[in-house]
């Protein structure tokens, strides 16, 4: 569906993220459950890993992360976005945006699949000296409107984002907040 002249909200060009050939899933740590289908806002899944496991490679599935979602990344396998062609889109602004908090120095999000997109997700250092926040080896990775931040000034990332062997990555309009 195309709109002549485009559609703008507060001056920002908008597109319909719901246009997809794949499935749409919803995640919420507030109202979600592993027993839910994740196929509606009324029945979201509880974790990103649960949603990822429902996705099909190269089908262009979309995972919406609902406002106030909070998830702890406690290891290198807490959440592994390893399904090609999936978009993970956070809903919410400011303190309502979804937050993923790294709780161990070895915790990370390893993106190994191609064509994966992260939008509007806040990545939070919940401990000092996190070796690698998001590690990307899949080609055509996109990160847009995301934020890396700290829960206190004593916590930090050694590397917030590592594009490793990824080719053709797009990193656009993100905020990387470092300690003073």
Bridge partners (DSSP) listed for residue 62: 24, 87
Per-residue pLDDT at 6: 52
What is the radius of gyration, based on Cα positions, of the chain? 16
Q: Give a yes or no: residue 66 inside a domain.
A: yes
Q: Give a yes or no: residue 116 inside a domain.
A: yes
In the block, tokens 């590592």 appear at: 162
Q: Give a yes or no: residue 12 inside a domain.
A: no
Q: Give a yes or no: residue 10 inside a domain.
A: no
Per-residue pLDDT at 7: 55
Write out the residue range of the structural domain in which residue 161 sits.
20-176
3-state SS string for 49-92: HHHHHHCCCCCCCEEEECCCCEEEECCCCCCCCCCCCCEEEECC
Count H helices and E strands in the chain, helices first.
1, 16
Q: Give a yes or no: residue 35 inside a domain.
A: yes
Per-residue pLDDT at 16: 57
Reduced to 3 states (helix: H, G, I; strand: E, B; else coil), residue 48 is: helix
Count of domains forming the chain:
1
**Residues 44-96: tens digit of each pLDDT:** 999 999 999 999 999 999 999 999 999 999 999 999 999 999 999 999 999 99
Cβ–Cβ < 8 Å for 148, 175: yes
Q: Give a yes or no: residue 56 inside a domain.
A: yes
Q: Give a yes or no: residue 15 inside a domain.
A: no
**Residues 112-171: tens digit of each pLDDT:** 999 999 999 999 999 999 999 999 999 999 999 999 988 777 888 888 999 989 999 999
Q: Give a yes or no: residue 13 inside a domain.
A: no
The C-alpha atoms of residue 34 and residue 21 are separated, in whole angstroms, by 25
In the block, tokens 């907040």 appear at: 177
């Amino acid at each position: 569906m195309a709109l002549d002249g485009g559609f703008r909200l507060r001056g920002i060009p908008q597109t319909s993220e719901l246009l997809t050939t794949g499935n749409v899933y919803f995640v919420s740590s507030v109202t979600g459950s592993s027993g839910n289908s994740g196929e509606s806002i009324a029945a979201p899944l509880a974790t990103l890993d649960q949603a990822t496991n429902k996705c099909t490679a190269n089908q262009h599935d979309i995972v919406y992360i609902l406002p106030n979602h909070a998830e702890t990344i406690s290891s290198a396998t807490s959440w592994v976005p390893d399904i090609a062609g999936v978009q993970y889109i956070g809903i919410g602004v400011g303190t309502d945006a979804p937050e993923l908090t790294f709780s161990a120095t070895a915790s990370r999000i390893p993106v190994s699949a191609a064509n994966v997109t992260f939008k509007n997700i806040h990545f939070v250092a919940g401990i000092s000296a996190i070796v690698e926040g998001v590690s990307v080896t899949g080609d055509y990775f996109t990160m847009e409107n995301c934020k890396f931040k700290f829960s206190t000034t004593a916590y930090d990332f050694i590397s917030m984002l590592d594009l490793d062997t990824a080719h053709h990555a797009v990193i656009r309009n993100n905020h990387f907040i470092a300690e003073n």
